[in-house]
Amino acid sequence: MKKAINLFYKNSPSGASPKKELEFTKFGNGTAPISKEHIKTPVENADAGNEKSVPEVLVVTSYPPRECGIATYSQDLIRALNDKFNNSFSLKVCALETDNEKHSYSESVEYLLNTDHSDEYKKLAKDINRNTKIKIVLIQHEFGFYHKHEGEFLNFLNSINKPIVIAFHTVLPNADEAMKSNVQNILDICSSVIVMTHNAADILLADYKISENKISVIPHGIHLVPHLDKMVLKEKYHFSGRKVLTTFGLLSSGKGIETTLDALPEIVKRHGDVAFLIIGKTHPVVVKHEGEQYRSMLEKKVAELKLENNVFFINKYIKLPDLLEYLQLTDIYLFTSKDPNQAVSGTFSYAMSCGCPIVSTPIPHAKELLGDGTGIIIDFNNTKQLSDAVNRLLSDEELRFNISSNSLHKIVSTAWENSAVAHSLLLEKVAADEIILNYTIPEVNLNHFKRMTTDFGMIQFSKINHPDIESGYTLDDNARALIAICQHYKLTDNESDLEYISIYFNFIKHCLQTEGYFLNYVDEKKGFTEQNNSTNLSDANGRAIWALGYMISMGDLLPEELIAGAEEILEETLFHVNAMHSTRAMAFTIKGLYYCSNIHKKSKRHTYMIEALANRMVQMYKHESDNDWDWFESYLTYANSILPEAMLCAYAETGNEVYKTIAKSSFDFLLSRTFNKEGIKVVSNRSWMHKGEVSFRFGEQPIDVAYTILALSRFYDVFKEKDYLTKMERSFNWFLGKNHLHRIIYNPCTGGCYDGLEEDHVNLNQGAESTVSYLMARLTMEKYFNCKQKEFFLPTSRNKEKQLA
């Protein structure tokens, strides 16, 4: 099992350098196999010792190494919950077994339930009730688990004196009265029921008369993938030059794979290079009862149809990373289940997450997801419809691309990270005050940051997570990137960062004009675009000064030639500072000059410029502010927090109390307009917030949340108000799923950050602005935040305050 990596500072003498204090430590459950005799007894398990502990959630489920879909599902869910909320609760597993199905388990399995033995249900219920650490029981339910023992299972539920949440993996429509009564009795006992499709929820409402308030729809989770190059993957797995069709999963006759085989001759006539991959072992239950009868039938059919060069059986267990690569190289995924009542399929979800265009039979899951250009649905056992659909897709690359893109946008909201958030919110609600959610800060990941960078600079936009070189470059993005990579170098002392520092600095130098100002927009051929002539460049120039100043402040860490070059460029640009009238350009410039004028390099000229710009902002503030509007302008737009933060920098530089007072009152006003009891909600980019009006609610940008975190950091350093620290945490949680959609904005797989949070979706593109902004916020959190113990660290000197943006 993959461990969460947690960053924290060790206790060290006051004033010690942060990068010397940084240490990486792994946490999480081990994965060494344990046998039944290693399962803890209730006495060992209940209230052992006096150590501080988090509440426990017991998950009753089949579990690996048992081979079944629900076992894999539970393992993925538990891993996601541990990664997202490892300080909120402790997840323990009760593994379901039978007389014919017994295994050795990992340490996370603390209980066993042999569902063939009536007395074990009673014993488990007693053990659960005796363990006061267990606050809630989460049951993964499939009717087959309790076949012929439905009464014992119902009594088991009735005997538990803890809240129960049950996840129904199958919801049968048109059930007989006995089935309806059984389901109703189960759900009468449980506090909440989880289903994975809206269709299943509708059946519970209409057929079983279950209260809507008791039902939560949490879709089957999917793995985020890096979307690697398809051609490279085909070469890796020896399918270069071929169109690849794929199906996977534990084989059984219900998969309907023979439908595809019967359709293949028509497909091969038009596309002779096609390769059909059948990935997966035969289901172990099928092997016990039928042996390899079904696989043998398929192999015989392949020979009869002379498809030996087109069909490939991969009859082995495929590890998840390899499976996801097979799916990423797939041109079309085929799902031909024969079961109209199969509510959901993990294989189906995984294929969509890898961007596979899907041809599927009409199971409820498919009907719910494959609409609006996200796939093609065919009738059960219909060979002609399947061959027609595949031939159409193979002949139309643009159609395949559009379906792939539409599928990704539709399915990515069901990522395991989002499933973990949804499950945790439900557990928190059901357990009342027993569970308090604490989001786990992810480890720093520079993969996408570096992927967006060429030897010339950082590319502006990205299509999903693929850099879009045609979008060119901007000074804005490369200035922010320079600050972020300098932050990272300061914390880690990683020498590979120096290459990137040089790239971004050289890009800034490239944008400098002989007149001493910067251009912003650069095309992929390194030429300046016409957009520079039609756009106000003041803010971009201010950002460049901020970046140069921050870099210069690291003079004791960076090579002398880099610092000298930055100082030379900065001096050339300062002739234009007095002509600045954009509020944000002035604020960025104040920050840059403040970093330059640190304790080692006090400059009267820089101080004078800071005072001149700050006084200009004071006049703007006095002109616009009143009892109900404590701000510099008659509206709130983007990057608002940079304004009060700049005033606080001016105070730190000059000691002028007026700057400090305005900084505090304006920042607290801004916070009152961007925070509510749910968390942060920054000003919408769709419509600015004007004085006397209410802002549009949606259209939130990562850069605004990140700048808020930077400002909160500085305000805490000066005023020592813990509320600023609390708001820092709440702001950063926005990236991790604490927002109105309860979806992640930071992608931990790629290391990129999504471009925006809209009313009903997340913009999945991971451009430079959002990715760099997230990284700046993440590195700023490192100064205060202990990922292991959820504690904050206090700054020890004014010099440290200047070191972080």
Interatomic CA distance for residues 161 and 137, integer angstroms = 10
Of 241-250, 471-480, 683-692, the poorest mean pLDDT is in: 683-692
Neighbours of 160 (CB within 10 A): 20
Residue 202 token pair = 């509708």
Task: Give me the pLDDT at residue 49, please.
Answer: 39
List, in order, residues 6 or more apart from 149 with CB less than 8 Å away: 115, 116, 118, 121
DSSP-assigned beta bridge partners for residue 469: none
Q: Label residue 106 by pLDDT band (50, 70, 90).
A: confident
Task: Give me the pLDDT at residue 3, please.
Answer: 32
- List the helix and strand counts (H, then E) for the chain: 31, 26
Residue from 714, 717, 760 nearest 741 by CA: 760
Average pLDDT over residues 663-690: 92
Interatomic CA distance for residues 171 and 342, integer angstroms = 9
Q: Residue 162 in 3-state DSSP?
A: coil
Mean pLDDT estimate for the chain: 89
Residue from 28, 39, 35, 38 nearest 84 by CA: 28
Amino acid at 352: M
List, in order, residues 6 or more apart from 608 with CB less than 8 Å away: none
Residue 497 token pair = 């960062």
Residue 589 token pair = 């410039």
Furthest CA-CA distance within the chain: 89
Interatomic CA distance for residues 440 and 461, integer angstroms = 28
End-to-end CA distance of the chain: 36
Let me know: does 713 contact 641? Beta carbons within 8 Å. no
Average pLDDT over residues 274-282: 95
Main-chain phi, psi angles of 231, to 5 degrees: -65, -40
Let me know: does 61 contact 96? Beta carbons within 8 Å. yes
- Size (the chain), residues: 805
Amino acid at 387: S
Q: Label residue 666 by pLDDT band (50, 70, 90).
A: very high
Interatomic CA distance for residues 378 and 404, integer angstroms = 18
Interatomic CA distance for residues 709 and 779, integer angstroms = 10
pLDDT in tens, 720-762: 999 999 999 999 999 999 999 999 999 999 999 999 999 999 9
Interatomic CA distance for residues 724 and 663, integer angstroms = 14
Average pLDDT over residues 179-188: 96
Q: Residue 228 in 3-state DSSP?
A: coil
Interatomic CA distance for residues 526 and 511, integer angstroms = 10
Q: Label residue 799 by pLDDT band (50, 70, 90).
A: very low
Interatomic CA distance for residues 152 and 78, integer angstroms = 26
Instruction: Give the distance from CA 36 to its chain's centroid.
Output: 36
Residue from 543, 448, 471 nearest 753 by CA: 448
Average pLDDT over residues 578-591: 94
Task: Give me the pLDDT at residue 391, please.
Answer: 97
Q: Is the pLDDT of residue 680 over 60?
A: yes
Of 8-17, 115-124, 167-176, 668-677, the poorest mean pLDDT is in: 8-17
Interatomic CA distance for residues 722 and 569, integer angstroms = 39
Main-chain phi, psi angles of 475, to 5 degrees: -60, -40
In sequence order, what E strands does 337-495 have? 358-360, 376-377, 459-463, 466-474
Let me know: does 5 contact 26? Beta carbons within 8 Å. yes
Instruction: Give the distance from CA 755 to its chain's centroid.
Output: 13
Residue 299 token pair = 């192999």
List, in order, residues 6 or more apart from 36 with CB less than 8 Å away: 102, 104, 112
**Greater pLDDT, 602 or 218:** 218
Task: Give me the pLDDT at residue 52, please.
Answer: 57
Let me know: does 659 contact 651? Beta carbons within 8 Å. yes
Average pLDDT over residues 17-21: 32
In sequence order, what E strands does 496-581 have? 521-522
Neighbours of 227 (CB within 10 A): 18
- Residue 53 host element (H or E): none
Q: Is the pLDDT of residue 86 over 90?
A: no
β-strands 274-279, 90-97: how paired? Answer: unpaired
Burial 88-98 (b: 16+ CB within 10 A, else e): bbbbbbbbbbe
Q: pTM of the prediction?
A: 0.88
Q: Label residue 4 by pLDDT band (50, 70, 90).
A: very low
Neighbours of 529 (CB within 10 A): 16
Residue from 453, 458, 479, 459 nearest 573 by CA: 479
Task: Give me the pLDDT at residue 696, please.
Answer: 65
Let me know: does 596 contact 566? Beta carbons within 8 Å. no
Residue from 552, 587, 554, 553 nearest 570 by CA: 552
Interatomic CA distance for residues 193 and 72, integer angstroms = 20
Burial group, residue 24, by CB count within 10 angstroms (0-12, 13-18, 19+)? exposed
CA distances from 487 to 481, 498, 534 (A): 10, 12, 33
Q: Is 291 left (phi over 0), alpha (psi -120 to 50) or beta?
A: left
In this structure, what DSSP letter does residue 221 have?
P
Instruction: Give the distance from CA 216 to its chain's centroid.
Output: 21
Residue 171 token pair = 């919801």
Burial group, residue 307, by CB count within 10 angstroms (0-12, 13-18, 19+)? middle
DSSP-assigned beta bridge partners for residue 744: none
CA distances from 455 to 446, 524, 560 (A): 16, 12, 21
In sequence order, what E strands does 702-799 have? 756-757, 762-763, 785-786, 791-792
Q: Is the pLDDT of residue 498 over 70?
A: yes
List, in order, residues 6 or more apart from 13 with CB less than 8 Å away: none
Assess whether the previous peptide bond of 65 is cis (omega < 30° from 0): yes
Burial 749-776 (b: 16+ CB within 10 A, else e): bbbbbbbbbbeebbbbbbbbbbbbbbbb
Q: Is the pLDDT of residue 12 over 50?
A: no
Let me know: does 562 contact 517? Beta carbons within 8 Å. no
DSSP 425-447: HHHHHHTGGG----PPPPPP--H
CA distances from 69 to 55, 65, 256, 364, 541 (A): 28, 11, 17, 17, 56
- Residue 121 host element (H or E): helix 118-130
Q: Is the pLDDT of residue 38 over 50?
A: no
